[in-house]
Amino acid sequence: MDDRTYTADAEPGDTVTVAGWVHEVRDLGGIAFLILRDTTGKIQVKFEKDEMDDDLVETGLNVHRESVISVTGDVEEEPRAPTGVEVTPASVDVISEADPELPLDPSGKVDAELSTRLDNRTLDLRKDEVKAIFEIRAEVLRAVREQFRELGCTEINTPKIVATGTEGGTELFPITYFGQEAFMNQSPQLFKQLMVGSGLERVFEIGPIFRAEEHNTPRHLNEATSIDFESAFSDHTEAMDACEAVVKAAYEAVEANCQDALEALDLADEFEAPEGEFPRLTYEEAIERINATGELDEPLVWGDDLPTEGEHALGQDVGEHYFITDWPSEIKPFYIMDKDDEVSTGFDMMHPSMELVSGGQREHRYDHLVEGFEQQGLDPEAFDYYTKMFKYGMPPHAGWGLGGERLIMTMLGLGNIREAVLFPRDRQRLSP
């Protein structure tokens, strides 16, 4: 539609054709208003019954809410209209009539359950505050990509259908690949590591990961977006610097470029990009601080994973993004480089409410790596495609994986990670 004008661009004095959805029809007797909505906003269309063609008035006032229409007419200034202008229609064309019964009210006057919203995402995203989440998500991904390029990374895309998993066998989704067993990829971990040994050296990937999580929780998806970084000749501290830069860049871009979306979410006043360095606590300090809060029934001891209540207690205590470093080797994956017999280079980056990132320096020494596979109960033979490249010149390297939806969820204070995904996959949900 070449001659279509967005509602936001309709200026007094123009003759325009605006097209979009019927947001509302208000019939006041002699005069009636139709509010037309498009992606840029809304505009009022005025019907003066005595002065207009009966057919035109009838078409405009009988159309069901959420139908798609186009209106051609003159734009005039009208201070009482919601946007200060209104259109006096010369013609109204009903392009796609909506059913009078809608499964969801896009005006937001009637609240809907999350499951109803997810079943009807098309209607759900007609709401400004829902659309805003995905505008912000797009800006975050743009800013993250830009920051990675500034860090000298090359964007890569690795396979999502794989022969082996790395992050624990129980979380794998098996599939049949031409009669052979295969899996959906849980993480680009091994592939991105193979690329630091290539001529690329420093890479990032933004792509889906698939995990058959044991529990249905507000912060786990079965298909999530992983933002991954891996760099040759870097150690875990340099990887943490890159992680901090990427997360800050995402916040700063949203603050600079998404004020309308933040307003729609009612966050414009409180939204703040994190400033200063993220504190770096050792695991040992972390468990001491958690124990000191007295929030846990049983105090944590060395080697325990941090329970969710522990993460919350510590997050409250620290009050900003922070790193936990120096994790016990035994609870970090085998591909993480150890500092000594007990402590690894593994780190997590935390939002006060949950884990966002796991990373570390990687084991690049062939013999140690093969030993790690065995200790983990994995057959090194099955990972031959990976380990053998460590025999042909593999530099020391470090990296991390950041949960894209967790970043959006914590940034916007969403109660459920599913709100940050258009079509989430969980135990109950396989379509739409």
Known binding residues for ATP are 211-213, 219-221, 355, 403-406
- Rounded distance, CA 350 to CA 315, Å? 8
418 classed as catalytic: no
- Rounded distance, CA 375 to CA 394, Å? 22
406 classed as catalytic: yes
Q: Which of residues 218-257 bind ligand ATP (CB under 6 A)?
A: 220-221, 224, 226
Is 329 near ligand ATP (CB under 6 A)?
no
Is 202 near ligand ATP (CB under 6 A)?
no
In the complex with ligand ATP, which residue's Cβ is closer, 194 or 409? 409
405 binds, among Mn ion, ligand ATP, none (CB under 5 to 8 A by kind): ligand ATP
107 classed as catalytic: no
Which one of 23, 37, 117, 219 is the catalytic residue? 219
In sequence order, what E strands does 169-297 have?
174-177, 180-184, 202-210, 223-232, 280-282
- Rounded distance, CA 395 to CA 364, Å? 7
- Quick one: how far is CA 432 from the chain centroid? 18
Is 325 near Mn ion (CB under 5 A)?
no
Q: What are the phi and psi torsion angles at 139 (to 5°)? A: -70, -40
In the complex with ligand ATP, which residue's Cβ is closer, 78 or 167? 167
Is 403 near ligand ATP (CB under 6 A)?
yes
Known binding residues for Mg(2+):
355, 358
126 classed as catalytic: no
Known binding residues:
167, 211-213, 219-221, 355, 358, 362, 403-406
| Size of the residue set binding ligand ATP (CB under 6 A) | 15
Is 357 near ligand ATP (CB under 6 A)?
yes
- For residue 65, the tally of other CB atoms under 10 A from its CB is 18
- Chain position carrying tokens 């006096």: 88
14 binds, among ligand ATP, Mn ion, none (CB under 5 to 8 A by kind): none
Using the rule CB under 5 A, give the single segment among 77-85, 217-225, 298-306, 354-362 that binds Mn ion.
354-362
In whole angstroms, how far apart are CA 161 and each of 50, 164, 178, 208, 392?
66, 9, 12, 11, 25
Using the rule CB under 5 A, give the single segment among 41-49, 224-232, 252-260, 351-359 that binds Mn ion.
351-359
Can you read off the two tokens belonging to residue 288?
């001491």
Is 411 near ligand ATP (CB under 6 A)?
no
- Chain position carrying tokens 């079509």: 423
- Rounded distance, CA 126 to CA 110, Å? 14
Maximum pairwise Cα distance, the chain: 89
Is 358 near ligand ATP (CB under 6 A)?
yes
Which one of 321, 406, 418, 425 is the catalytic residue? 406
Residues recorded for the chain: 432
Q: Which of residues 150-189 bind ligand ATP (CB under 6 A)?
A: 167
Cβ burial of 47 (10 Å; 0-12, 13-18, 19+) is buried
Contact with ligand ATP (CB under 6 A): which of 202, 211, 321, 364?
A: 211
- Rounded distance, CA 308 to CA 315, Å? 10
Contact with Mn ion (CB under 5 A): which of 166, 222, 226, 358?
A: 358
CB 44 within 8 A of CB 86: yes
State the minimum distance, in angstroms, from the CB of residue 63 to ligand ATP.
42
State the minimum distance, in angstroms, from the CB of residue 103 to ligand ATP.
27
Q: Which residue is nearest to ligand ATP (CB)?
A: 403
Omega of the bond leading into 432 within 30 degrees of 0 (cis): yes
Secondary structure of 331-348 in HEC code, one letter for each residue: HCCCCECECCCCEECCEE
220 classed as catalytic: yes
Is 405 near ligand ATP (CB under 6 A)?
yes
State the minimum distance, in angstroms, from the CB of residue 357 to Mn ion.
8
Give DSSP secondary structure letters for 356-380.
EEEEEEB---HHHHHHHHHHTT--G
213 classed as catalytic: yes
In whole angstroms, how far apart are CA 349 and each of 170, 242, 322, 353, 402?
24, 12, 6, 11, 9
State the minimum distance, in angstroms, from the CB of residue 403 to Mn ion.
9
In the complex with ligand ATP, which residue's Cβ is closer, 221 or 370? 221
219 classed as catalytic: yes
Which one of 231, 234, 344, 358 is the catalytic residue? 358
State the minimum distance, in angstroms, from the CB of residue 48 to ligand ATP.
54
Report the interface residues with ligand ATP, using CB under 6 A.
167, 211, 213, 220-221, 224, 226, 355-358, 401, 403, 405-406
Report the interface residues with Mn ion, using CB under 5 A.
358
Which residues participate in catalysis according to the annotation?
Answer: 211, 213, 219-220, 355, 358, 406
